[in-house]
A and B are shown apart, each in its own frame.
Chain A
Amino acid sequence: MKQLLQGNYAVAEAVRLARVQVVAAYPITPQTPIYEKLSDMELEGKLTGVMMRTESEHSAMAACIAASLTGVRTFTATASQGLALMHEMLHFASGNRVPIVMCNVNRVVAVPWAFGSDQSDSLSQRDTGWMQFYCEDAQEALDTVIQAYKIAEQSLFPVIVAIDGFFTSHFMEPIEIPDQATVDAFLPPFSIPTRFNIEDPAFISNVVSPEQYMAYRERSFADMEKTRPIIREANREYQEIVGRGYDAVQAVDTEGAEIVLVTSGAMTSTARVAIESLRAKGYKAGLLKIKAFRPFPTEEVQEALKNVPKVAVLDRNISLGKEGIFCHELKSALYPLERRPTVTGYIAGICGADVSPEMIEDMVIEALKQDKPTDLPVWVRRETWLQKR
């Protein structure tokens, strides 16, 4: 059924359809409508599980970990400072291999204090051992949350589904909501071994020797590598049953392109308009959307860009002292190639600053003129862009 919904509500619908048994969360802008909608659903008896209204995000994650260990399907949602406060527990979740699914609504991290979209909050959780999927719009967010349960439960790794604050979380658009029977056909009931018996309490997260610790990390690393076919297969099955799907990367018109624009999240959607306009003007421009950030889709990125002479990367995040984080990761993935493209990094849309198709077109045209790779990113703000014009 099609409904006119904001993205936050689409995520709540996905949580309902996944028959989540425990939701533990704390409200924070711009995620709060997910929390509110799930509360409404609980009150109306539409939610399979229960809501735990914890006193902080740190506690919300601790509750999800414990609940998951007792053998139930869990969900939490957060953003920005909330995710930062969870940080310690994120390591506990992946270390204990609990398949929690979390929606992070990307928002800047203070200071200054602000509310706009920025991927820095979730990208700075890169090394916590969580899978991370970045969604282009609310429909993809709904579909990805449902897929994430299957991926998490088959691989025993937790998943962050990241959506852009405001552009995805608050834009109201028509959303196709699958019916319960369809989702049930894709997502079986939660059944992983129960590792915690509440009748017989025990302790986890023991102290180990350096050899034991390193062996555990090595095995976790190998297990994360094994998630790649699981992610592919979950999407293939979802596509078959529900009729929509999203690969770890999506390449549009990259074949024979003289330049490819690499994007993630909601800016991808605007970039599609820019690339179409450039092609109409005769530019051989393509688009590469990166959805999976962890595990990073190295092979898919290499395959899409191996014959492309120039690449522009659009980042809605910044790592001070280096560059945009997707650009950094992309360059590292391209290193083994014999003929590497010239990569130019652009920083735009920080804190949800406006990025129009015309701004993106100009970035691509400028990157096309670059003959040498540059270390530092180019910052593009509407004000300075207008002056340059």
Chain B
Amino acid sequence: MIEIKFFGRGGQGAVIASQILAKVFFVMGKYPQCFSVFGGERRGAPVASFLRVDDKKILLKCEITAPDEMIYLAPDLVDEKEIQSVLKPGGLILINNALTDNDFRALRKFRLALVDALAIAEEMGMGATINTAILGAYAKASKAVPMDLLEQVIKETVPAKVSANVAAAKRAYELTELFY
């Protein structure tokens, strides 16, 4: 089983990102379980979303306290101390490093991946909705999901700007930097 945590701010699309990824794993024949922190949804507020994936039915109905993978749509939410204490050894960290000078050197003992998802989303005319860009970056960093399947699920799922969303995922796949 892999356990993935998404961190973002309301409006960036962290919840939808986790649901699209869940659907990709579902289409691949896996058993995904996807949920978000519940209550006070509003633009700009911190949002966390969770995804477990396994080959068999997942019985756990509790929080993810020691994730295998952490995905930050909002770089200002990165707490390096917390990551070092909860992330499993060899775990994956994917950060949207837009608008930050931090090179996250302290996190390079894990598998670190960086992408300026905001620049990509803006280039595609999607404003601050960076969820499909971050998913393209995830496909590159994790090698867990094939890009063509991700594109297919994005096409089926996003309500508007379908080609821009697909293009953002593809561009992010190309531009994501891996530090491992």
A and B found bound together: yes
Which A positions have Cβ atoms within 8 angstroms of B?
Answer: 4, 30, 115-116, 137, 164, 166-168, 170-174, 266-267, 269-270, 272-273, 352, 354-357
20 contacts between A and B (CB under 8 A): A4-B22, A4-B32, A4-B34, A115-B39, A137-B61, A164-B61, A168-B61, A170-B36, A171-B34, A171-B35, A172-B32, A172-B35, A173-B31, A173-B33, A173-B58, A269-B59, A269-B60, A270-B62, A273-B60, A354-B63
Does the CB pair B38–A269 fall under 8 Å?
A: no
Does the CB pair A266–B38 fall under 8 Å?
A: no
A172-B59 contact in complex given A30-B38, A115-B39, C-beta closer than 8 Å: no
The distance in angstroms between the C-alpha atoms of A272 and B60, with both chains bound, is 9
A170-B60 contact in complex given A4-B22, A4-B23, A356-B65, C-beta closer than 8 Å: no
- Cross-interface CB contact of A356 among B19, B22, B39, B62, cutoff 8 Å: B62
The yes or no answer to B26 lying at the interface (CB within 8 A) is: yes
Does the CB pair A115–B61 fall under 8 Å?
A: no
Does the CB pair B38–A166 fall under 8 Å?
A: yes
What is the distance, in angstroms, from B26's C-beta to the closest C-beta of chain A? 5
Q: Could you say which residues of chain B place their CB within 8 Å of the CB of A354?
A: 62-63
Q: Smallest CB-CB separation from B63: which chain A residue? A: A354
The distance in angstroms between the C-alpha atoms of A214 and B88, with both chains bound, is 64
Q: Smallest CB-CB separation from B35: which chain A residue? A: A171
Does the CB pair A270–B31 fall under 8 Å?
A: no
The distance in angstroms between the C-alpha atoms of A115 and B58, with both chains bound, is 24
From A171, A172, A356, name the one whose CB has the most chain B CB atoms within 10 angstroms.
A172
A174-B32 contact in complex given A115-B39, A269-B61, A270-B60, C-beta closer than 8 Å: yes
- Cross-interface CB contact of A357 among B22, B23, B32, B62, cutoff 8 Å: B62
Q: Could you say which residues of chain B place their CB within 8 Å of the CB of A357?
A: 60, 62
The distance in angstroms between the C-alpha atoms of A137 and B31, with both chains bound, is 14
Q: Could you say which residues of chain A place their CB within 8 Å of the CB of B65?
A: 356
A167-B31 contact in complex given A4-B22, A30-B38, A172-B19, C-beta closer than 8 Å: no
